[in-house]
């Protein structure tokens, strides 16, 4: 396994750096940690994000892996990774396109007709439109195929009624990807159909949800007799689950890739500037032991992530590393955040810009990470995946297999 750039990769990285140096500013190490969930996006932030995306698209640096014929660059997966690594070192506006570019675009490119690709992909690349993912419902999250939002065919349209929840960015989205139940008499997975919906359609109501950290990143979305043209259907009628799987695979890869060790540098910084028993905390043996433990686990994660990159660089398909990275990285970051708050003492939980130590990175992470440990597959669901697909353990028992969805029991057993 060779973690270094090949000569071609090194040349590509240099090209990327040159463009970024000329068009963006290097990140201030003290800058507030990223707003990953679009929680505090203002109108100015929205405009700045769109302008940055357009600038990248005009120079050929947006959606590197997407086909040239729809406005991408036709680059390799490793080139996309190199771009992401380098871009993350620069100050850029909040990324409001992660759902559109990370999940919706790849799904349309895989399952859409040529007309659908031409309709939606170019505007996605240039950042003219923002997208959201309308999958989860109040009683369908991990068990997504249990969703109940209905779609009934009416002439050239479908009429949609129901409720979605936890829809990130719905409040500023122009389009959404939507999974519905068109046939409650079919079994759970077979009765689903997938659409692209115009978020400005009459009958759609978006209600923001306030989160634990005060942000308002996700929403409830209500559908009342919303009409969607059949031309917006992605895949065949009844093919919704297969199309949704494409979205979910892309979602997990995009959330899992980070490794989640970003705040370890902040933790070392805090240990150098905070005192324990009258001496810098970093000189205290108990503190050093905790820091060493975090560091070793962080390196383990980094090397797991490097294995993914090495596989991509050699043209191979990465294995289960993304699930492992998401599972272990989320937990590790939360532990480090808790320790940072503890080490900072009484001020550790402050979130005021001018008072909080380390620019409130620790309480931010402590309150934000639980959401990331749920989105895109909870810890328990990831453990199930690892146990079944990596360790080869027997699958979970399924009581609803082959049963018509309308007959799947939903309440307490009748007496």
Choices 65-73, 152-160, 277-285, 371-379 (CB under 6 A): range interacting with ligand FAD = 371-379
- Cβ 131 to ligand FAD, closest distance in Å? 10
- Cβ 37 to ligand FAD, closest distance in Å? 5
Of the candidate residues 384, 387, 400, 404, the single one contacting ligand FAD (CB under 6 A): 384
- Cβ 245 to ligand FAD, closest distance in Å? 14
Secondary structure (3-state) at 234: strand
- Cβ 313 to ligand FAD, closest distance in Å? 31
Choices 233-241, 257-265, 281-289, 375-383 (CB under 6 A): range interacting with ligand FAD = 375-383
- Cβ 307 to ligand FAD, closest distance in Å? 26
Of the candidate residues 92, 98, 149, 167, the single one contacting ligand FAD (CB under 6 A): 167
Contacts for 296-305: CB closer than 8 Å, 24+ residues apart:
297/328, 297/332, 298/259, 298/261, 298/264, 298/332, 300/328, 301/259, 301/260, 301/261, 301/325, 301/328, 301/329, 301/332, 302/259, 302/261, 304/259, 304/328, 305/257, 305/258, 305/259
Q: What angle do CA 164, 148, 144 make, to 5 degrees?
A: 70
Complex with ligand FAD: residue 251 or 266, whichever CB lies closer? 251
- Cβ 339 to ligand FAD, closest distance in Å? 23
- Can you say how many angstroms the Cα of residue 38 is from the centroid of all Cα atoms in its chain? 11
Count of residues near ligand FAD by CB under 6 A: 20
CA distances from 93 to 47, 48, 55, 398 (A): 9, 6, 12, 44
Is residue 136 at the binding interface for ligand FAD, with CB under 6 A as the rule? yes
Of the candidate residues 141, 184, 238, 300, the single one contacting ligand FAD (CB under 6 A): 141
DSSP string, 32-67: PPP-TT-TT--HHHHHHHHHHHHHHHHTT-SSTTS-
**335's tokens:** 């532990």
Task: Indicate which residue of 137, 251, 321, 388 is catalytic.
Answer: 251
Is residue 247 at the binding interface for ligand FAD, with CB under 6 A as the rule? no
Handedness of CA 400, 402, 406, 407 (dihedral sign): negative
Complex with ligand FAD: residue 309 or 328, whichever CB lies closer? 328
Is residue 333 at the binding interface for ligand FAD, with CB under 6 A as the rule? no
Q: Is 39 a catalytic residue?
A: no
Is residue 131 at the binding interface for ligand FAD, with CB under 6 A as the rule? no
Choices 220-228, 345-353, 356-364, 377-385 (CB under 6 A): range interacting with ligand FAD = 377-385
Is residue 168 at the binding interface for ligand FAD, with CB under 6 A as the rule? yes
* Continuous segment of H or E residues that includes residue 276: strand 275-276
Residue 264: how many CA atoms within 13 Å on its side-chain side?
A: 20
Complex with ligand FAD: residue 24 or 46, whichever CB lies closer? 46
- Sketch the per residue contact string, 58 through 97, with ligand FAD: x for CB under 6 A, - otherwise: ----------------------------------------
**221's tokens:** 């979305």
Is residue 133 at the binding interface for ligand FAD, with CB under 6 A as the rule? yes
- Can you say how many angstroms the Cα of residue 329 is from the centroid of all Cα atoms in its chain? 14
**299's tokens:** 């390196």
Alpha helices in 240-313 (DSSP H): 240-256, 264-273, 285-313
**203's tokens:** 């009958």
Q: What contacts 352, CB < 8 A, 6 or more positions away?
A: 360
CB 131 within 8 A of CB 173: yes
- Cβ 49 to ligand FAD, closest distance in Å? 17
Of the candidate residues 159, 374, 385, 404, the single one contacting ligand FAD (CB under 6 A): 374
Is residue 371 at the binding interface for ligand FAD, with CB under 6 A as the rule? yes
Active-site residue set: 251
Q: Which residues bind ligand FAD (CB under 6 A)?
A: 37, 132-136, 141-142, 166-168, 218, 371, 374-375, 378, 380-381, 384, 396
């Amino acid at each position: 396994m060779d973690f270094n750039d090949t000569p071609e990769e090194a040349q590509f990285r240099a090209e990327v750096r040159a463009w970024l140096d000329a068009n963006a500013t290097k990140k201030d190490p003290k800058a507030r940690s990223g707003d990953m969930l679009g929680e505090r996006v203002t109108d100015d932030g929205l405009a700045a994000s769109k302008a940055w995306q357009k600038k990248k698209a005009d120079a050929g640096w947006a959606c590197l892996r997407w086909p040239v014929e729809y406005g991408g660059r036709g680059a390799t997966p490793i080139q996309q990774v190199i771009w992401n690594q380098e871009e993350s070192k620069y100050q850029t506006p909040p990324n409001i396109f992660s759902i559109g570019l990370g999940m919706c675009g790849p799904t349309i490119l895989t399952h859409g007709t040529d007309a659908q690709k031409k309709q939606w992909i170019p505007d996605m690349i240039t950042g003219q439109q923002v997208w959201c993912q309308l999958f989860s419902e109040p009683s369908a999250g991990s068990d997504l195929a249990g969703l109940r939002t209905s779609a009934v065919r009416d002439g050239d349209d479908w009429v949609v009624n129901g409720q979605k929840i936890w829809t990130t960015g719905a409040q500023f989205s122009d389009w959404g990807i939507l999974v519905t139940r068109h046939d409650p008499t079919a079994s759970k997975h077979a009765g689903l159909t997938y659409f692209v919906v115009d978020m400005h359609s009459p009958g759609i109501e978006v209600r923001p949800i306030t989160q634990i950290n005060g942000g308002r990143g996700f929403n409830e979305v209500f559908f009342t007799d919303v009409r969607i043209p059949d031309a917006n259907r992605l895949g065949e009628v009844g093919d919704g689950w297969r199309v949704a799987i494409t979205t979910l695979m892309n979602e997990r890869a995009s959330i899992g890739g980070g490794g989640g060790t970003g705040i370890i540098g902040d933790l070392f910084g805090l240990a150098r500037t905070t005192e324990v028993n009258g001496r810098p905390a970093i000189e205290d043996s108990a503190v050093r032991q905790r820091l060493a433990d975090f560091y070793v686990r962080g390196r383990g994660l980094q090397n797991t992530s490097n294995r993914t990159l090495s596989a991509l660089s050699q043209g191979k398909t990465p294995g289960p590393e993304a699930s492992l990275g998401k599972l272990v990285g989320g937990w590790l970051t939360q532990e480090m955040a808790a320790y940072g708050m503890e080490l900072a003492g009484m001020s550790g939980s402050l979130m005021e810009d001018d008072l909080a130590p380390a620019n409130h990175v620790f309480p931010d992470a402590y309150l934000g990470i639980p959401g990331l440990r749920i989105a895109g597959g909870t810890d328990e669901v990831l453990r199930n995946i690892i146990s079944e697909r990596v360790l080869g353990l027997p699958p979970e028992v399924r009581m609803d297999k082959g049963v018509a969805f309308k007959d799947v029991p939903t309440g307490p057993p009748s007496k």
